[in-house]
């Protein structure tokens, strides 16, 4: 189904009425699941993800001998895409390469920001349930996982925040340039070349944000990457601010309930 992106050029407004650098409504909660060690629920527009974390716990035995070589915790990610989450009801097999790739991405991204060396011979399991899909799936999963891991109290160097960014035909048609668009929904994702950027802050005064995750799977001219990347990194900062707000307000609530 081709999407009519030509209207963007006229009104400078995207299909859902946003401007180019506007995020969708990002709503999140933490500690939603009592049974898990850490959990979060995140809505990024119509993409809805529920994340639970269990661990760090001792490794389940039976795989490759009880002793793992590592002196650090292993991050395991399981993704569960609900059959009703997409436009048409479809069961995604567990062996779907695309899902597996996302699992690998999320696991290795957190493997390097979490202080895994504090928990030798253990596993941290991150389970993601995708309840509704509308673009930016990987980004939403990364954000939800960050929140759940914070809730689980696992030490990390900083938040990983993530966002998608696309390259769309410019609003000024006289120029042969492209405009970057931030935080895509499902329709835009099908139509435009886009990438998922995930950055990790460097703590207060730690310098520039670092790109932890960068996944792009559509063809785009090299020259456009710079604009996309800088808008993406900027978008990650915005997302980070929102996530930070969620964590702080939750912390406040916890503190207040303790005091009273």
Partner 1 sequence: MPSEVTPSTNNHDFILTALRQNLRLDSRPLDTYRPIDLTFSSDPDTYGQTDVRIGKTRVLCNISCEVGAPYPDRKFDGVFTISCELGPMGSPAWEVGRQDQTEIILSRILEKTVRRSGALDTESLCIVAGQKCFHLRADIHILDHDGNVLDAACFALMAALLHFRRPDVSIEGEEVTVYSVREREPVKLTMTHHPFCITTSFYPSRQGSDDDLISVLDTTLQEEQCRTGSLTISLNRHGEVCNIAKYGGVGIEGLSVLTCVNASLEKAKMFDRLLKERLAEDEKARQAKIGAMGLELSAENERVMERPVG
Partner 2 sequence: MTTPGVLLPGEVVPQSALPATKKGTLTLGPGLHHVPPSTISATTTGSLQTDNKKGAIWLETSHGRYQPTVGDHVIAQIHHSSTESYSCILTPHTPYAILGQLAFEGANKKTRPQLKSGDLVYARVSKTKIECFNSATGKSEGMGPLKAGMTFSVTPSFARRLMMGTSKDGQAKGGVVVLEEAGEKVRFEVAVGRNGKVWIDSSTARETIVIGGLLVRADEEGWGVEMQRKMVKKVLRDV
**Toward partner 2, which CB reaches closer, 72 or 78?**
72
Residue number, 69 or 260, with CB nearest to partner 2 = 69
- By the rule CB under 8 A, 71 interacts with partner 1: no
Q: In terms of CB distance, is 11 or 66 closer to partner 2?
A: 66
3-state secondary structure of 41: strand
100 binds, among partner 2, partner 1, none (CB under 5 to 8 A by kind): partner 1
Give the containing element (helix H, strand E) for 52.
strand 47-58
CB of 38 to partner 1, least distance (A): 19
> Considering only 47-55, 67-75, 76-84, 204-212, which stretch makes contact with partner 2 by CB under 8 A?
67-75
Residue 200 and residue 159 in contact, taking contact as beta carbons nearer than 8 Å: yes
- In DSSP notation, 116-166 reads GGGSTTEEEEEEEEEEE--S-HHHHHHHHHHHHHHHTT--BSS-EEEEEEE
d(CA 178, CA 4): 16
Alpha-carbon distance of 160 to 113, in angstroms, equals 8
> Does 67 sit near partner 2 (CB under 8 A)?
yes
Selected range binding partner 2 among 2-10, 63-71, 108-116, 205-213, rule: CB under 8 A: 63-71
89 in contact with partner 2 (CB under 8 A): no
Using the structure block, give the residue that is written with the tokens 């993530």. 162
58 interacts with partner 2 by CB under 8 A = no
Instruction: Please give the residues from 100 up to 139 whose contact with partner 1 meets the rule CB under 8 A.
Output: 100-101, 104-112
> Contact between 89 and partner 1 (CB under 8 A)?
no
Cα torsion 244, 35, 47, 28 to 10°: value is: -20
Query: What is the rounded CA–CA span in Å between residue 224 and residue 209?
Result: 20
Torsion of CA 207, 225, 135, 179, to 10 degrees: 110
69 binds partner 2 (CB under 8 A): yes
Q: Which residues bind partner 1 (CB under 8 A)?
A: 64-65, 69, 95, 97-98, 100-101, 104-112, 195, 199-200, 207-223, 225-226, 229-230, 233
Q: Which residues bind partner 2 (CB under 8 A)?
A: 67, 69, 71
């Amino acid at each position: 189904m081709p999407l009519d992106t030509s209207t963007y050029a006229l009104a400078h407004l995207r299909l859902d009425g946003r401007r180019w650098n506007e995020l969708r409504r990002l709503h999140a909660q933490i500690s939603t699941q009592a049974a898990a060690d850490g959990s979060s629920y995140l809505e990024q527009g119509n993409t809805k993800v529920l994340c639970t974390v269990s661990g760090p716990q001792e490794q389940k035995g039976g795989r490759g001998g009880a002793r793992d070589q590592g002196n650090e915790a292993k991050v395991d990610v399981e993704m569960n895409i609900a059959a009703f989450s997409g436009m048409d009801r479809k069961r995604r097999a567990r062996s779907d390469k695309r899902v597996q790739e996302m699992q690998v991405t999320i696991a290795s991204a957190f493997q390097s920001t979490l202080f895994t060396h504090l928990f030798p011979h253990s596993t941290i399991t991150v389970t993601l349930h995708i309840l509704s899909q509308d673009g930016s799936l990987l980004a939403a999963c990364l954000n939800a996982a960050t929140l759940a891991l914070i809730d689980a109290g696992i030490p990390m160097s900083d938040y990983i925040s993530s966002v998608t960014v696309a390259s769309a035909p410019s609003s000024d048609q006289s120029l042969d340039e492209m405009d970057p668009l931030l935080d895509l929904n499902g329709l835009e994702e099908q139509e435009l070349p886009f990438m998922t950027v995930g950055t990790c802050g460097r703590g207060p005064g730690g310098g520039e944000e670092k790109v932890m995750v960068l996944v792009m799977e559509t063809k785009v001219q090299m020259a456009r990457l710079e604009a996309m990347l800088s808008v993406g990194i900027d978008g990650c900062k915005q997302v980070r601010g929102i996530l930070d707000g969620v964590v702080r307000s939750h912390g406040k609530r916890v503190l207040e309930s303790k005091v009273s």
